[in-house]
Amino acid sequence: MFIPIPDNISPILKEIGTISYSKGHRAYLVGGPARDLILKRKLKDIDIMVEGNAIGVAEEYARHHNMRVKVHPEFLTAKVKGRKFIIDFASARKETYPTPGSLPIVEPGNFEEDMRRRDFTINAMAISITPDNFGKLIDIVEGLNDLNKGILRVMHEKSFQDDPTRILRGIRFSARFGFTFEDKTLVYLRRDIDYLKVVSRERILRELEFISKEGIEGIRVLTKHHIHSVLNLCTVEDKILNKIIEFSEKTGINPEKSLLASLLMCTDDFPLTSHMRKNINLIKSLGTFDIIKVARIDEDYLPLVYAYIENSEEVVKFFTVRERISPEISGGEMKKLGISPGPEMGKILEEIMVLRWQGRIKTKDDEIKFIKGRLNA
């Protein structure tokens, strides 16, 4: 079976295939991009597997186009940043996992080993890009069948033990494509779910970020498979999820940060950025709407504020007037009026913000009058 290759990537793949062929190697478009082409979805990036030295192919392609290539000899990979796509080149490899959850030992391997090291059959297909059979699908694991049936199937019984993050990858694909785990895969998932506890919190957090990008469905599928209780994440009720989405749709704010924070609000286990920690702490400290606290919360997290507090209509109002409530007067101008920088200045700025929120201050002149009045009081 031949897969139609869209015009925007066909010349790129043909050229890479020809370079490989001239060096005596076969090359393929593999993994997610092969899956997405079959599904007729837009490609985010290009993953090339070369049966041979992928780094040499990447270097030659980059030389032709005057592009920079980043090489990782220890992983047998190279990355080329094109104008429209990032192209990842990898030599066919096999991977072994010394202990559950550890990073794999990578060794050169053949085509079949490279397909069998992968997470799910739908991600273990290859589309040939060498000139003699450009576009031909090579599917040794019946991935196409699973893709058509909407099934996520692991390659072997110990897959989730080798790399428990595959459970979270499965959640991501299930949410994105509406696929379900194949019966035996589901049995392995339930049996091996506790292996997630041995994975570093950094890696888990990265996967949770990806799951949050899938929207509300990502969190729903995660909860359906009880991952939240294994990882001590919050149980996020549907009511909260729906409100996050409702606010995002009203305002155009991407919900992903709020969805992620909704999972992480009740745990200190994860290495969050100080930025995210600050926002989560502010939200947790909110009972009802508090303009001073809400003004300190980044816009990305407003959907979560809206979902959590009782008088949520205030958050909608805040979103529409937020630019008008920042004080116009500068620190320098306040100094000239006799206020020294420090806690007092901060307090006055907050008071101005509250008065702007209440509509009692509208202009910079009003602010100056207020400050003078306050100094004379």
Interacting residues with ligand ATP (CB under 6 A): 31-32, 44, 47, 118-119, 123-124, 163, 165-166, 169
Q: Give DSSP secondary structure letters for 107-119.
A: EE--HHHHHHTSS
Smallest separation, CB 98 to ligand ATP (Å):
15
Where residue 252 falls (left for φ over 0; alpha for ψ -120 to 50; beta otherwise) is: left
Nearer to ligand ATP, 1 or 103 (CB): 103
Q: Which residues of 226-263 are buried (b: 16+ CB within 10 A; e: fewer)?
A: ebbeebebbebeeebbebbbbbbeebebebbbbbbbbb
CB of 238 to ligand ATP, least distance (A): 25
DSSP helix/strand/coil, 342: coil
CA distance 48 to 35: 13
Q: Which CB, 188 or 357, lies closer to ligand ATP? A: 188
Shortest CB 77 distance to ligand ATP, Å: 11
Minimum CB distance to ligand ATP smaller for 163 or for 182: 163
Helix (H) or strand (E) holding 49: strand 46-50
By beta-carbon proximity to ligand ATP, the closer residue of 165 and 248 is 165
Other CB atoms closer than 10 Å to residue 86's CB: what's the count?
12
For residue 313, which phi and psi values (nearest 5 degrees)?
-60, -25
CB of 174 to ligand ATP, least distance (A): 12
152 or 305: CB nearest ligand ATP: 152
* Beta carbon of residue 123, minimum distance to ligand ATP (angstroms, whole number): 3
- Would you say 200 or 330 has its CB closer to ligand ATP? 200
User: Which long-range contacts does 327-336 make (Cβ < 8 Å, 24+ apart)?
Assistant: 327/352, 327/353, 327/356, 327/367, 328/363, 328/364, 328/367, 329/364, 329/367, 329/368, 329/371, 333/368, 334/371
In the numeric block, which tokens belong to residue 62? 């980059």
Nearer to ligand ATP, 124 or 294 (CB): 124
Closest CA to 161 of 189, 187, 141: 189
CB of 47 to ligand ATP, least distance (A): 6
Cβ neighbours for 309, distance < 8 A, ≥ 6 positions apart: 286, 287, 288, 289, 315
Rounded to a whole number of angstroms, the minimum distance from the CB of residue 135 to ligand ATP is: 19
In angstroms, what is the minimal distance from the CB of 374 to ligand ATP? 55
- Closest residue to bound ligand ATP by CB: 32
- Pick between residue 123 and residue 130 the one whose CB is nearest to ligand ATP: 123
Sign of CA dihedral 182, 187, 190, 191: negative
